[in-house]
Structure 1
């Protein structure tokens, strides 16, 4: 007798998502119905723009730097490979908070000194004034720190995507006379992009959460505003409920979008 086709398993109802939605609705109801919650929400929403600005700019810069590191690591030049591996291993081995402090209090003064040294001819003529560390604000330092930290992780995502492309296609393109740049542009990049988009989305969600660390530098993001408000009003429970609500609204929404994108990419590959 012919074998019966395997039964398709129905996916279980996402009770976890329903539970999260109920918690969100309860918090939203408290914000609407309670004047204290409403005041906290109004205060903290000012930090949403800072959180999104820091995250978006740092992620864009980290993606660009990560692509450069990934290209160096997949390069046939062994020296470029070793430099890229050294960078990735060092950065990934340092906690983000430590890197944040290092960039803010060690890297920033060093960059200012280096910039003044480069601009010495203009400074000696009195055309410009010497830069000071105070001009390098803490928001910019936080963006630089997140850029450096996440570039190492994003570089590994790019590397995995590039190496997932069949070597035969690359060799065929090279044999047809395409340069390395054109081979990457027309053969490697389109295929690698489908592989790297979901993990890149997950890294973006992670960066939104890790952006809360910039509050350690006094950057006026959601976490910092919540810390200041709760310390002055002693409403720690209400304040951090709203802080968690704002972060969860952003991260869960983006996580669901990433899952939908991943599912769509899988369906298009069939």
Structure 2
């Protein structure tokens, strides 16, 4: 038996590198600085407000804001202590403790920075309203003008709601018609596809206010039978229907194309005609999927009803301009903005809920 001898080789393993914790101390110092800046802006805002508001109101507001700031100072100082503890633990060879302390410091610091940023925005807005002898507040938030104009503006806002609701119904029908025309199959449907594509591209390229102006003044000038005798409200409904129908058509088309082709194939294999398949299988699924984007378009439509004032429709915005010109104050226009906010924000939240529900349904499938 032959023994083979050779030099013994041993592999030397490199020591594992320790991952340092995140630099939490600068972030914690920034949180403390943000608290100090918030305190300074609180004092500046209270000093500005003391010239135009009663002393008791100013003192109460200053005490409340300062209390909130002092509450934020506690997590800021805690972040500093945790950051220093992380540095000491890292120097002492305890990386796990260092990373844990640094994570706690970063969480406290980011919390303080977030709330300080929100407080700075609110305080900045309050300071802006109180500067220049409360000129901004008197111009946009005069209580007397708001109380005087609110009733008539609210009544005129009913015109905006009427235009929006009627236009939405017509837009749904017109948009679906355009979408089906653009998706007409075969060579026989090519002329319809060309016309629908041209219409959609054209009306999406032109601003809505131009369409409203052309229809509101052009149809009466042209003396078009039946159409020229319409009221300005119906001119506005017609213009918005023609404009938003192009946008809604693309939404419907995207929803129809999102339905799996196998659905249509299965329906046709069961003996359903093309139209029955579209009506009973494809459109119900497509409509459910396009509800959130449709609501987004209708939110935009609600806001664009303010454009009808260019053709003389007495809506909320036109009514507010009358009060603004009579009182040399824009508080009445602020009332209109508040009404639109009250109408559109619930719709926006509804869109968020529907979108989240559709996403959950898709994950469940």
Give the TM-score range, shorter chain. 0.7 to 0.9
How many angstroms apart in 2 are the aligned matches of 1:101 and 1:35? Answer: 34
Count the aligned residue pairs.
230
- Confirm or deny that 1:52 pairs with 2:164: no
RCO higher in structure (CA 8 A, sep ≥6): 1
How many angstroms apart in 1 are the aligned matches of 2:183 and 2:359? Answer: 26
- Secondary structure at the aligned position of 1:113 is classed as coil
How many angstroms apart in 2 are the aligned matches of 1:103 and 1:62? Answer: 17
How many angstroms apart in 2 are the aligned matches of 1:211 and 1:181? Answer: 35
The offset of 1:266, in angstroms, is: 2.0
The offset of 1:34, in angstroms, is: 3.4
- Confirm or deny that 1:81 pairs with 2:193: yes
Structure with higher Rg: it is 2
Please give the residue correspondences for 1:70-219 in structure 2 after superposition, counting only pairs within 5 Å.
Answer: 70-76=179-185, 77-110=189-222, 112-115=223-226, 133=228, 135-219=229-313
The offset of 1:176, in angstroms, is: 2.0
How many angstroms apart in 1 are the aligned matches of 2:214 and 2:241? Answer: 13
The offset of 1:35, in angstroms, is: 3.7
Q: Which moved more, 1:65-74 or 1:189-198?
A: 189-198
Q: Is the 8 A contact 2:217 2:311 kept in 1?
A: no
How many angstroms apart in 2 are the aligned matches of 1:93 and 1:176? Answer: 42
Q: Is the 8 A contact 2:145 2:332 kept in 1?
A: no
Q: Which runs of 5+ in 1 are unaligned?
A: 1-11, 24-32, 116-131
Q: Which moved more, 1:43-52 or 1:172-181?
A: 172-181
Q: Is the 8 A contact 1:108 1:141 kept in 2?
A: no
Q: Which runs of 5+ in 2 are unaligned?
A: 1-110, 126-141
The RMSD of aligned alpha carbons is 2.7
1:251 equivalent in structure 2: 344
1:37 equivalent in structure 2: 146
How many angstroms apart in 1 are the aligned matches of 2:340 and 2:224? Answer: 37
- Confirm or deny that 1:65 pairs with 2:159: no
How many angstroms apart in 1 are the aligned matches of 2:315 and 2:245? Answer: 22
